Every structure is written in structure tokens, then in C-alpha cells.
Structure 1
Amino acid sequence: MVIAPAFALLLVTQSAPPDPARALEDAGRYREAEPILRRAVRDAGATADDAVADAAERLADNLAKQARPREAEPFYRRAFEIRLARHGAAHPAVARSLSQLAGLAADAGRMAEAEALSARAVTILTAAGPDALLDLTRAQGNRAGILAAMGRGEDAYALYREAAATLQRLGPAAELEFAVALNNLGSHLVRMAGATSVQAGFRRSFTLRQAVLSPFRPMPGAGGVEPLDAMLRRRLLFDAAMALRMALGVRVRLLGEMHPDTANSLNGLAAAERALGRREEAERLYRRALGIKMAMLPRGDRDRVIGAWSLASVIAEDAMRAGEARVLYRTAAAEALAAQGRHADYDRAASAELRSFAPIFTGQVRAAWTLASRP
């Protein structure tokens, strides 16, 4: 599933007025920011100008980050229609809307539509030049997620790398965006390492590199696939851990130890460490991430669900700790059910989210069974 567009980077000057909604969102408190953004849309009125489009987009972003794509879609479409009418089909703002609509199409399972919209967005933003680079990297990240969901992991990898390398060149003003791109890249590499095969030629392309952001030149293959062996898998995971540590370092420095984005980087790094067989380090990172999420995010937030679930699953690998795992699974299950309260009705998004939490409930049963089987 494609997650909604990456966090927008706001360049704030001392003369800029306070933005309460942005402050809440920067702290991961999207539900509290939502009423403020709804008022902004209402106050913007019905005129078809850029201010109305921007207000609609901000509210849509907020709803998408709360995993409520069905409610976000009308506001994204409103922004798109205004921008298309005012600026024409080749404008960067129109491309930004196209990328957002591509994400919604992917969430709804319309992958061909999502792929076409995301390709169009990237093409427009590439032609727009240096002033559109930030929007281009976001569109590349969104398209990469769509390609990965379509089974085109190697193509997604190239896009994730390109976005991260561009943001690295942009320097301090884009550091938070750089951290998002690194996190996306690292998490994607962990997923690739869990596959059984890669496109023919990818192994040689990957092996020739020396670091996570060194120049990447895909090597032509003869078509088909080749097996993903243990050596390539470990190289993928080492690069994943490197990217995730870089993202974590940026977020700790700019956002602090207790920010939800810091916790997300910790969770991603823990997944890489676990896949590398370093279970104790993975548990330490998962535990640290969960502490941040429980302290900083509201009940039912998806990140709280994932935090408790991740820690439970690594602890459950030790049958002697089944009791501790069961407590964490029960916490994750309660949070998962609370998360359903975000949805206005039981639509496709609510169903997909609940089904994605199925391993929590099976894990809870397994832990209980282990306890019940003890003499």
C-alpha cells in the first residue's frame, strides 16, 4: 500500500506568522490539527484560487496521514481541478496534485491508473527545472512506492536512490526531506532482501557500488530473474541499515529524541538489524521506538499499533518470554481496534487496515497457546 505523500518541508522565517496546525503536525498530532485545517478550508471560501487549492491540499494531506484516503480524495481533487483550470496541465502544482491522486488510486487498488498518474507527475516536474526539485523528489518517492507495490522493486530502488541523492545535494534546507527519502530507501531495501529473486543484472549493478548513495548505474540484464542469494541479501541489509542510521541521525539532531519520526527511523533500523540476525539490538531499538510512540501519539495511532506489534513479534521468538509477548500483542490488538475509529465507515481503507493487522491477533493466540502448553 502506498502511503500518502511525504511530509512537506516548510521554510519558516522569523517574520512568518505562527502556524498552529503545522506545529501540531510536526509533532505527529494530526487529529488535533485536523479541525484547524477544516476551518481554513471553510474560511478560504468557494473561489477557485490558489489559496483555496492550498488549503484543500493541506487538509487532504492531514487526512491521508491519518489513513483516511476516502475522506482525503475530494479535497485533493478540488485542489487539482483549481490548479488545472488556473495554470494548465504542465504546471508543477498540477503535477503535485497528480502525484497525490496517484497515491489514492494505489490505495484503492487501481494500480494501472496510479502508475500512469505518477509517471505524468514525475515527467512534468523533471521538465520544470531546479525550482521544482523538492516536489520532484516527493513525486519520485510516491512513484517508487507504487512501483514496489506492483512488483517492480528494482525500478523503485533506483527512484528512491535518485530522490535521496538529489536531496543530499540540496543541503541543509532539505535535511528533513532527506531523512524521509533515506527512511524510504532503507525500508525498501529491507523488503527487497526478503524476496527470493531479483531482475537479471541487478546483482552486478548493486555489487559495484561502495556506499548507499554512491552513483548507481543499472547494468543491462538479459531479461528474466536471478536468485537472491545470501551474500546479496546481506549487502542489501547492510545498505538498508546504513540509510536508516543516516535518517535517524538527521531526525534526532533536528527533531529530538522524542519525536514520532525519530521513532519511525528506530523501527525501520530495528527491522534491518533483526533481518541481519542481531535480535538483541533489534529488541532494544523496537523498545526505544515504542516508548516514544506511547508517550507522544494518541491512542489508536497506526504507529503505536506497529510499535507494540513489532516489539511483541521479536520477543515472541523466545518461547520463555511468551507472557511478555502476549501482553504486547494484547496492547497492539487494542490499539488496532481503536485505530478503526478513524474511519467514517467500514470502507475499503478500513478493511485493508484491519486485515493488515491480522498477524497481531494470530501472534496473540500463539503466545497464549505457548503459555497454556507449559506444564
Structure 2
Amino acid sequence: ELSKRLLGDNHPDIAASLNNLALLYDSQGRYDQAEPLYLQALELIKRLLGDYHPLVATTLNNLALLYDSQGRYDQAEPLYIQALELFKRLLGDYHPNIAASLNNLAELYRSQGRYDQAESLYLQALELFKRLLGDYHPSVATTLNNLAGLYYSQRRYDQAEPLLLQALELFKRLLGDYHPSVATTLNNLAELYYSQGKYDQAEPLYLQALELRKRLLGDYHPDVASSFSKLGSLYDSQGKYDQAETLYLRALELRKRLLGDYHPSVATTLNNLAELYDSQGRYDQAEPLYLQALKLYKRLLGDYHPHTVTVRENLEACRQQNSG
């Protein structure tokens, strides 16, 4: 408001303020408020500074991150690529913004199940961050965490665990014990242990992550919904069905409220809830949830994404059990 009063509506500082406010809303999961601000910032920057300027690349990257968070992958990818090409053109191949763009594009490919492409980009980003910023930097920890997530997705658990432990130690050293990145890494480490059947190690980490996220982000945030969902999966696996169902339903309600009905995370929660009912023999409740999840995954990720294939297999098994 003060910038507009002093500088007028058409000034680069106005665009920067719009971009920063959009970043805040994006971080809070307030995606509908963030998008128009990013678009305004992008239009203003291009009009004032031209198409070839670092601020244009930054805003393209931020808008891509927003679409990525919403599962709008087809819209995110070209923006990431444009931002990467523009950063390289303007800043050269060796700049932290290049590494960040490589990391972001790798995250997108991981979300789409394009693991080979993702790994190459993560490794490039990690090498570049270390070269430019040193071994002790939050961006290095973030990339270690993300690369571990890729290895987790591929069930390469022995490679994932040391990376997560490095990332956690580095985040705590650099950012302190009370930071969202610490919560994210605790959650990821818990998920790794859960996948290996190490439930006693997973549960306290999930609970720490949930408590930290609520403390830092409030009760209404996508990361809190993620913690509900992950903890629900753990209790489901332990046969604590009533606790699991409560957490899944809270995650589903929160994700729909924050992300809308058409998001991969909503499909994931529908599938998890269906699996819970399925395991209890509540097939008539499970089948419609599997169908909703399958329809949503096919729409967002395509017919051949690993998540789509998994839900299709779950649905078929459920129908066989029900008919039998």
C-alpha cells in the first residue's frame, strides 16, 4: 500500500511486493489468493522490465511451484522450464537460482513418477548448491531431503535413510529445532521407518512432526493434513482402526478445504480410507472411495502413473473379495 502511494501503480517494487505476498499465501496453503497476485506480478514485471529479467524468471518459478502444489503438473512444467532457461541465459550455469530451478523441476518429475529424470536433476542441484554455497546451507539440506524422497518412492530405503538423517541434522544446526523444514524431515524419516515396518520408531517422529506443524503453521495447513494422513496409515497398519479412521477423515476434510476437490492428495486420502474399510471387510464403503480416487488420479496423473495403477489394483481386489 505504501509503495503504491509513493511510487504509483507501475513500479518494479509493486511487483516485488505482490510476489512476496503471494509467496506468503502459497506457504499457508491459501492458493486461490496467491495465484492472482503472482499473475499480476508477472504481468507488471514483464511490462516494466521486459521478458528477459531475473524477476520474470523468479515469478515464473513461483507460479510453477503454486501449480505444482495444486497438482496442476501440466501447467507447472513449462513454467519451470521457462524459468530455468531464463536463469541460465541471464545468470550463467553456475548460480544458486539454477540449482533451485533444477531441484523444483526434479520435484515435479518425482510427483509424476518420472524417477530417472528426477534423480539426474536432484544430483545436479545438489552438486551445484554444494559448489556455490558450501556443505552447510539450508538449500543443501532441502535437496538431500528431496533426493531421499525420490529413493523412498523407489523403495531404495538404504540410500534414503542416511540422506534424511543428514538433512535433519543440518536443518536443526542451521535453523534450530522449531522450523517447518525440521517437521518435514521428521515426517519423512517416520514414513521411511513405517514403510520398513519399524512402527515403534515411526510413531514418535510422526507425532513430533504433527505437533511442530500445528505449533508453527496452525491447525489449517496442508502439512497438518499430511501429518494426519501419515499417522492414520501407521495406526491402520497396527490395527488401530478407530484412530486411523478419525485421522483419515480429518485429513480428507482439511485437504478438500485447503486444496479443493481435485488434487492428488485428496485422491491419496480417499484411497487410504478405502483401504481401511477394505481391510475391515466393509467393502460397500470401500468401493466408491476407490472409484473416486481412481477417477481423480486418472484425471490428474494419467492412466499409467504408479498411484493410478495401485488404486486400480486395490479396486479390483476389493471387488473380488466382495463378490466372493
How much is the aligned-residue C-alpha RMSD, in angstroms? 3.1
Partner in structure 1 of residue 302 of structure 2: 350
Helix, strand or coil for the counterpart of 1:300? coil
Letter in 2 for 1:127: R
Report the CA distance between 1:331 and its aligned residue: 4.5
Find the aligned partners of 2:106 and 2:256 in 1 and give their Cα distance.
Answer: 32
Partner in structure 1 of residue 213 of structure 2: 251
Letter in 2 for 1:350: G
Aligned residues of 1:270 and 1:283 also touching (Cα < 8 A): yes
Partner in structure 2 of residue 167 of structure 1: 171
Find the aligned partners of 1:24 and 1:339 in 2 and give their Cα distance.
Answer: 26
Partner in structure 1 of residue 237 of structure 2: 275
Report the CA distance between 1:302 and its aligned residue: 2.3
Larger deviation, residues 57-66 vs 110-119? 110-119
Aligned length: 303
Aligned residues of 2:54 and 2:86 also touching (Cα < 8 A): yes
Report the CA distance between 1:56 and its aligned residue: 0.8
Letter in 2 for 1:281: Q
The correspondence for 2:288, drawn from 304, 324, 330, is: 330
Q: What aligned pairs does 1:246-325 form with structure 2 within 5 A after superposition?
A: 246-319=208-281, 321-323=282-284, 325=285
Q: What aligned pairs does 1:205-224 form with structure 2 within 5 A after superposition?
A: none
Report the CA distance between 1:249 and its aligned residue: 0.6
**358 and 151 in structure 1: CA distance in 2 versus 1, 3 angstrom threshold:** same
Report the CA distance between 1:332 and its aligned residue: 5.5
Helix, strand or coil for the counterpart of 2:279? coil
Letter in 2 for 1:123: E
Aligned residues of 1:305 and 1:333 also touching (Cα < 8 A): no
Find the aligned partners of 1:339 and 1:32 in 2 and give their Cα distance.
Answer: 25
Partner in structure 2 of residue 229 of structure 1: none
Q: Which has the higher helix share?
A: 2
**165 and 330 in structure 1: CA distance in 2 versus 1, 3 angstrom threshold:** same
Q: Deviations over 1:138-172 (max 9, x none)?
A: 21122122333444321111112211221122345
**Runs of 5+ consecutive residues of structure 2 not aligned to the other structure:** 1-15
Q: What aligned pairs does 1:188-199 form with structure 2 within 5 A after superposition?
A: 188-191=192-195, 193=196
Find the aligned partners of 1:20 and 1:334 in 2 and give their Cα distance.
Answer: 35
Find the aligned partners of 1:240 and 1:66 in 2 and give their Cα distance.
Answer: 27
Find the aligned partners of 1:38 and 1:108 in 2 and give their Cα distance.
Answer: 25
Check if 1:133 corresponds to 2:137.
yes
Larger deviation, residues 18-27 vs 266-275? 18-27
Aligned residues of 2:290 and 2:314 also touching (Cα < 8 A): yes
Check if 1:61 corresponds to 2:61.
no
> 4+ residue stretches of structure 1 with deviation over 6 A?
none
Report the CA distance between 1:60 and its aligned residue: 1.1
Aligned residues of 1:300 and 1:335 also touching (Cα < 8 A): no
**333 and 149 in structure 1: CA distance in 2 versus 1, 3 angstrom threshold:** same
Helix, strand or coil for the counterpart of 1:67? coil
Give the TM-score taking structure 2 as reference length: 0.79
Larger deviation, residues 124-133 vs 308-317? 124-133
Aligned residues of 1:306 and 1:332 also touching (Cα < 8 A): no
Higher relative contact order (CA 8 A, sep 6+): 1
Report the CA distance between 1:279 and its aligned residue: 3.3
**171 and 322 in structure 1: CA distance in 2 versus 1, 3 angstrom threshold:** same
Aligned residues of 1:54 and 1:79 also touching (Cα < 8 A): yes
Find the aligned partners of 1:241 and 1:41 in 2 and give their Cα distance.
Answer: 43
Helix, strand or coil for the counterpart of 1:128? helix
Check if 1:365 corresponds to 2:300.
no
**102 and 271 in structure 1: CA distance in 2 versus 1, 3 angstrom threshold:** same
Aligned residues of 2:268 and 2:293 also touching (Cα < 8 A): no
**Runs of 5+ consecutive residues of structure 1 not aligned to the other structure:** 1-15, 194-232, 344-348
Aligned residues of 2:186 and 2:205 also touching (Cα < 8 A): yes
**23 and 111 in structure 1: CA distance in 2 versus 1, 3 angstrom threshold:** closer
Partner in structure 2 of residue 94 of structure 1: 98
Larger deviation, residues 297-306 vs 248-257? 297-306
Aligned residues of 1:190 and 1:237 also touching (Cα < 8 A): yes
**293 and 147 in structure 1: CA distance in 2 versus 1, 3 angstrom threshold:** closer
Report the CA distance between 1:58 and its aligned residue: 0.5
Letter in 2 for 1:33: A
Letter in 2 for 1:273: Y
Aligned residues of 2:38 and 2:63 also touching (Cα < 8 A): yes
Check if 1:85 corresponds to 2:43.
no
Give the TM-score taking structure 1 as reference length: 0.69
Partner in structure 1 of residue 41 of structure 2: 40
